[in-house]
Amino acid sequence: MTSSDKPSVLFVCVHNAGRSQMAAAWLAHLGGDRVEVRSAGSAPADALNPAVVEAMAEVGVDITDQHPKILTTEAVEASDVCVTMGCGDTCPVFPGKRYLDWALPDPAGRGVAAVRPIRDEIRKRVEELIEEIAPDGGDRPGARFRRTPAPGPRAE
């Protein structure tokens, strides 16, 4: 776990110009101050994908102040959960971290109409991730990472 008392998530894709930027924006927008959010790319682009910026603006999420960032070992070390999106084996792996791989189409070279379904799928996955790592009331002890109780006899 990170030294912070809230979960930290790193979203990684190759160019950090589309999928990982949308995921980070959704997590920041929907998770608020319950989570720390990072995004990075293994080979960052020069700028965000304009269709991604437009698709996010359509749902009231402004990412115009964001820019692609290089993936660093420090970013992975500082995160509890690392979500990869098509970056292959370039993400460093550290013990004690949780790794997820979200297979999503790459929005590179696509228009806003093709980006919308990707945006919406990312939102759905981010909502599920928030519910898992930082549900409402996430400041109470033990709520940080929800655990499923072991099966056993039920009291009737």
Catalytic residue among 9, 23, 85, 87: 87
Tokens 């790592």 belong to residue: 133
Q: What is the largest CA-CA distance in the chain?
A: 61
Catalytic one of 37, 76, 91, 112? 91
CA distance 59 to 155: 46
What torsion do the CA atoms of 113, 106, 8, 132 make, to the nearest 10 degrees?
Answer: 70
91: annotated active-site residue: yes
Cα–Cα–Cα angle for 62, 63, 69, nearest 5°?
Answer: 170
Residue from 9, 10, 12, 13 carrying the catalytic annotation: 13
Sheet holding 8-13, edge to edge: 36-41, 8-13, 81-84, 98-101
The set of catalytic residues is 13, 87, 91
